[in-house]
Amino acid sequence: MSQRTSDQSAAHASVPFIHAAIIMDGNGRWAAARGLPRVAGHSAGAESLRRAVEAAPDLGIQTLTVYAFSSDNWRRPQPEVAALMKLFHSYLRREQARCVDQGVRVSVIGRRDRLPRLLLPVIKECEQATARGKKLHLRLAVDYSSRDAIAAAARVLKQKATRESLSKALGAADVDLLIRTGGEQRLSDFLLWECAYAELLFTPVMWPDFTAADLAAAVNEFRSRERRFGALPHAALA
């Protein structure tokens, strides 16, 4: 870790932990700009995720949810989808031991009935092997649609649906900071319920170029904002 990131980490040591979410966008455009196949961009993006996971705990991030594959991504060309599934498989295999050593708990959210059959035991093994991790909860959203997740939770709860029960059914605390790389400025059906009061940060940096320093800068920006949740600013209450 760089000296800059270390100094920023120390500064965050006394502040509350946060739930950060990242839409990891720009892999394909990063590859195209270099004359590489899109798959090369996704592979480079996996390395960026490793950097983010390693940096997150020291920046005060306790939960990190990343958008790995949306339900709409099935509409991409079949060779690219197959390559993404293969990359996801190898990522879980490769990173499992590292996550155990670093105290990272891994969970996969989203549908599993449409995933390749050979991928399912790898997901289960990684989740079980890392279940005791306390330093960081890494949530990988795969075949994920927030609208589908909300609809499914509402069907289960029916008339008993409340803000609290829906949040519990969706399985995660509210997002504090939402980062989207790649220059686009939309949520793309990602954690819509959980991001109701999230601070949004959009950056033109393509995901493969996103560094630990970029993540630290995003957290610093988040810490500088006043979160009112519909109430008046503190100054107005004085």
- Active-site residue list: 25, 73
Residue 70's region, left for phi above 0, alpha for psi from -120 to 50, else beta, is: beta
Distance in angstroms (rounded) separating the CA atoms of residues 204 and 169: 34
Residue 173's region, left for phi above 0, alpha for psi from -120 to 50, else beta, is: beta
Distance in angstroms (rounded) separating the CA atoms of residues 175 and 194: 5
- Distances, alpha carbon 98 to alpha carbons 68, 104, 106, 134, 225, in Å: 19, 8, 11, 14, 34
Residue 3's region, left for phi above 0, alpha for psi from -120 to 50, else beta, is: alpha
